Amino acid sequence: MKSWSKDIEINVQIEEVWQLLNGDLEEIQKIMPQVVAQEPIKITSEKVGSIYLQKYREGSRVQEYEVETLEYIDDENNKKLKVGFTLANMFEITAQYELKGIDSDRTYFKYTTTNTPLKWFLKPLVKLGSDKVVIQFVERVKKVAEGQKLQSSGQL
């Protein structure tokens, strides 16, 4: 298993960032435009154990997989969402989003992802992987969240 993590400070309220990570498909697509569909399969009252069928476009191909909620915390100044899925029967992937409210207009955001190859011949590929995608994702969440704040305040 290989793990990558990156954190950043975002200059918006915690709820605005949380909406991008935990909202409906339209909100999620703002930070993950490759996600083309997300349909509930099983929803639990406590969120953990909920499963969604997600469709992801990579070039002209659309892959679909079941995403399960593994951890879920939605407190006022502490939020966490961890999901897991198996990609193409080759990789077991988790994505964890952690938010902490610094003050009324700043949020600490940490993104951690793991990738476990399910076939022996994929192990070298995972070991060679870099954190470039993780860094780009964290920066995109910051850019989108702060951009929405500017739009809503009329500063753009």
Mean per-residue pLDDT for 30-50?
95
Q: What does the longest C-alpha to C-alpha distance in the chain come to? A: 53
The answer to whether 48 and 71 have CB atoms below 8 angstroms apart is: yes
In degrees and rounded to multiples of 5, residue 43 shows phi and psi of -120, 130
Per-residue pLDDT band at 128 (split at 50, 70, 90)? confident
pLDDT at 152: 60
Average pLDDT score over the chain: 92
Question: 151 pLDDT exceeds 60?
Answer: yes
Distance CA 31, CA 8 (A): 15
pLDDT for the residue numbered 101: 96
**DSSP characters over 129-143:** --SHHHHHHHHHHHH
